[in-house]
Amino acid sequence: MPALTLTNVNKKFGHATNEVIVLHDISFEASAGEVSLVLGPSGSGKSTFLTIAGGIQTPTSGSVVVENKTLQELSGKDRDALRLNQIGFILQAYNLVPYLTVKDQFKLVDRVKPQGNLNAAELADLLDQLGIGQLVNQFPAELSGGQTQRVAIARALYQNPDIILADEPTAALDSDRVKVVGQLLRDLAKQHNKAIVVVTHDLRLQEFADKTYMIMDGKMTVA
């Protein structure tokens, strides 16, 4: 049973002559234990795909099922709860709250979701693995772009979600760090049975993916 299923999803913006079709009849599955890579250039619709998969946007038609729940049938509150408990987002920008230290970014998660997060030892392991264990008392403004990206990844993984949706998670990283992040995502999929979906134009991640898709002009194909 796939953790995430999109069936015949279309997304249109605007009306009549201004209508733009961003996603065209997308069907997609992501299963636990797999890393799915969705490649595409800027403006291809890959971020729209990600927001629809995560229940942030609704499709114009088609259905999105996460852990056996059809997102369109859930209330806004229930979609919030689903994102908080079962989906971890790794976003490109503004990922961290600027007035919280790295340590407090995780405390914030504890406050809204007291159970089911990583324990202290698991968090320490994760931070060491990402090479940011010594940065726990720093504010985001004191971090480099790569460090910020890695803290954002740790932040998303901390809530121990079943599905991880990552938007360009390696955009600010050098090749060595890309390998670390790629291997981490792969380990999470294999060892912790997570479903990982990464949208990116970074081909360096291809070696860590089980399945690779291409999005071009709103249409998805298997690469």
Binding interface with another protein (CB under 8 A): 42-43, 45, 47-48, 50-51, 54, 56-57, 77, 80-85, 87-89, 91-100, 104, 107-108, 111-112, 139, 156, 167-168
The two three-digit tokens of residue 122, written as one number: 């698991």
In angstroms, what is the minimal distance from the CB of 29 to another protein? 22
In angstroms, what is the minimal distance from the CB of 101 to another protein? 9
Q: Residue 178: what residue type?
A: V
Of the candidates 195, 193, 194, 212, the residue with the CA atom closest to the CA atom of residue 203: 212
Of the pair 67, 210, the CB lying nearest another protein is at 67
Residue 107 per-residue DSSP state: H
Question: Cβ–Cβ contacts within 10 Å for residue 17, how many?
Answer: 5
Of the pair 83, 186, the CB lying nearest another protein is at 83
Write the DSSP assignment of 6-54 as a string of letters.
EEEEEEEES-GGG-EEEEEEEEEEE-TTEEEEEE--TTSSHHHHHHHHT
Of the pair 113, 190, the CB lying nearest another protein is at 113
In angstroms, what is the minimal distance from the CB of 10 to another protein? 17
Of the pair 91, 189, the CB lying nearest another protein is at 91
